[in-house]
Amino acid sequence: MKVISTEYSQILAARLAKASGFDLVDVRFSRFPDGELYLKTGQTGDEVLVVGSVADSDALVQLILLMDACRGAEITLILPYLGYARQDKQFSPGEPLSARAIAGILSGGISRAIVVNVHDPGVLRFFGIPVQSLSLAPEIGRYLKDAGFREPLILAPDDGAALFAAEVAAVNGWDSDHLEKTRISSEEVSMSPRKLCAESRDVVIVDDIISTGGTLATAARLLYEQGARNVYAACVHGVFAGGAYSHLIASGVREVYCSDTLERGCSVYSAAGVIADGISRC
């Protein structure tokens, strides 16, 4: 078995190869003069783990090209971040069901896939092949253990992420809760923890994705108003669209942590170990 990756997941792929004891395949990436993507791989062998986050449209095309270059080998596709997964319904007539479209393209010619904290596991049915769904919640819990928090409270920004927050907190026996949003007027909302008080506590808001950062910035502001001592943010997939990282720090979030499913400067925990365990169970 060998590990090969797109440019977008090269650090995670190298960590995965090390964690699982497999060789990493060398790949060179470039573009044709007209801007089209090109790549060339070294020897892949009979079985290969193809690693590629669908970070954006170029990442998707690069992944499709890489899978084609590996044709003939048995491919296990590792999707650390499955972009396009949030358009998981036709919300109004005329829209694509993007998650279905992307899953259909990516599942051709492969035997199985692995995803990490996909936004809604319901989209996995679109792949039509076995897909193993992994969670980084325990990994995040282990990382936060040594951060030196005082009276830590792990908080989900909505009830959809409440189980995720509970799994992060459980690693260290900490409290967890989720925020409840109350609309005060058409322009004003209030948010507060459903059961527990944030006053004088170090609060870590955890979520699967930070995209624009709007959800967490609003939550951080309201938690400070309620007397939180410090607010931190931890997620799996650090998308950070439109300057989200700066927006969070400017909103008073002390530190922002994410994993290497998207390779960022604040990727402080890795999905490699969880994926290596998942592969060993396949």
C-alpha 160/C-alpha 128 separation (Å) is 25
From the centroid of its chain, how far is CA 191? 24
- Closer residue to ligand R5P, CB minimum distance, 22 or 240: 240
242: how many CB neighbours lie within 10 A of its CB? 11
Structure tokens at 70: 């590996």
Is beta strand 47-51 parallel, antiparallel or unpaired with respect to 2-5? parallel
Which of 39, 47, 3 lies closest to 24, judged by CA? 3
Q: How far is the CB of 248 from ligand R5P (least distance, A)?
A: 9
- Closer residue to ligand R5P, CB minimum distance, 139 or 207: 207
> Is 181 annotated in the active site?
yes
Q: How far is the CB of 141 from ligand R5P (least distance, A)?
A: 18
Annotated active-site residue in 2, 18, 89, 181: 181
Structure tokens at 32: 């044709």
**Residues 120, 102: contact at Cβ < 8 Å?**
no
Helix (H, G, I), strand (E, B) or coil at 124: helix
Q: Which residues bind ligand R5P (CB under 6 A)?
A: 157, 160-161, 207-215
Q: Which amino acid is at 46?
A: D
Structure tokens at 114: 């692995």
Q: How far is the CB of 102 from ligand R5P (least distance, A)?
A: 17
Helix (H, G, I), strand (E, B) or coil at 143: helix
Q: How far is the CB of 119 from ligand R5P (least distance, A)?
A: 6
- Closer residue to ligand R5P, CB minimum distance, 8 or 245: 245
Structure tokens at 5: 């990756």
- Closer residue to ligand R5P, CB minimum distance, 47 or 88: 88
Give catalytic residues, as residue numbers: 181
